[in-house]
Amino acid sequence: MTGKAQTGTRQLLRRCWLTLTKWRSLSVLCVLTLAVSLIVNACSLAPQQLAPLRVGITSWAGFDIVLYAQEAGLFKKRGLDVQLIRFENQQDSTRAMLRGTLDATFVSLWDVVQSDSGSDKPAVLMVTNISHGADGIVAQPAIKSVANLRGKRVGAKLGTVNHLILLEALKLHQIKPEEVKIEDISNEIAVDLMQQGRLDAAVIWQPLLGETAQAIKGNIIFTTQEVESLVIDTLVSRSAITPTKKAELKQFIIAWFDIMSAVETKPNVVFQKVAQNLGQKGEAFAKDYAGLKKGDIAMQKQMFKSGRLPEAIAQMAELLKSDPRAGRMPRQDVKINTEIVTTAINEWKL
């Protein structure tokens, strides 16, 4: 091969080598770019690290159903660390929430409306249930209807949901609150006095309602099934915390929808697990829960989008004014937060 030919061959080989090196460099660059892209996307798709959520709860079937989320691992599935803190009454849990000890609490809207003033405002995030027969009035055998309560002694803790139930019953039967003598006592004391014959009637809830009627051979003269009840139970937080823990609260509501779906598709499993946690029988808890309208997605749409919640708050304020014996004035600053529950509804899927 001549020198000229050898030179041409070397140049050709050099060009080939440079081309191969160039493509190899481009390939490495592409691989690196792809790897970085995958890492970035993976990070963006990874579950957000959520802070622990402290939620107050009192004993009530409409609230206790949340225990299924713990038993079935639904909170964990939604990336949550939820601490349920037990309280004896809803006034105390609401006060703890407003003072910052809790992030949210399960509480009746009636108690929210009467909650103590503080540096922050309560914000209603979700409806957990509406009473539909689970609460009522039991009377002695001689008393056959609410109309017979004029001038009688009725056990009902003033300012509590029991007081609300009595006011609903009296309004339905066009009886003025002052025509009834209210004994300001707890459920347990009311039951004891009914059994001793020292009260004419008492406002209590299931299962005590049915058990007391049976024990004294008395009459259940009213239940919340007879009205569009204002016994509306809710999940409430405070205005200052909703922006900082919006992600946690949204995931909590999504987990709640998981529970509601399970109640719809496998109620016996749900009731059995909750009852075991409470030391009850599944059948007993199922009976208690049957007196409620459950807080599923359909209810959230009904309550938050139709204007029912502000309307209910206004009706509660009127009832409170009609019977000042509780000594409480309704709050005018209760917020209805539709954003978080609406986002949860849009994002929820099994």
* CA triple 69-73-75, angle to 5 deg: 60
In this prediction, residue 136 carries a pLDDT of: 97
pTM of the full predicted structure?
A: 0.84
Task: Kindly tell me if the per-residue pLDDT of 6 is higher than 90.
Answer: no
pLDDT for residue 27 is more than 80: no
Please check whether residue 327 is in contact with residue 321, taking contact to mean a CB–CB distance below 8 angstroms: no
pLDDT range class, residue 41, cuts 50, 70, 90: very low
Give the helix ranges, DSSP H, for the chain.
Answer: 3-45, 61-64, 67-71, 74-77, 90-98, 109-113, 161-172, 187-195, 208-216, 246-265, 267-278, 282-289, 297-305, 308-322, 338-347
Residue 46 pLDDT class (50, 70, 90 cuts): very low
pLDDT digits (tens, 9 = 90+) for 82-139: 999 999 999 999 999 999 999 999 999 999 999 986 678 999 999 999 999 999 999 9
Q: Which residues of 223-259 are buried (b: 16+ CB within 10 A; e: fewer)?
A: bbebbebbbbbbbbbbeebbeebebbbbbbbbbbbbb
What is the predicted pLDDT for the residue at 206? 87
Q: What is the mean pLDDT of residues 55-60?
A: 96
Q: Which amino acid, 118?
A: G
Report whether pLDDT(23) > 90: no
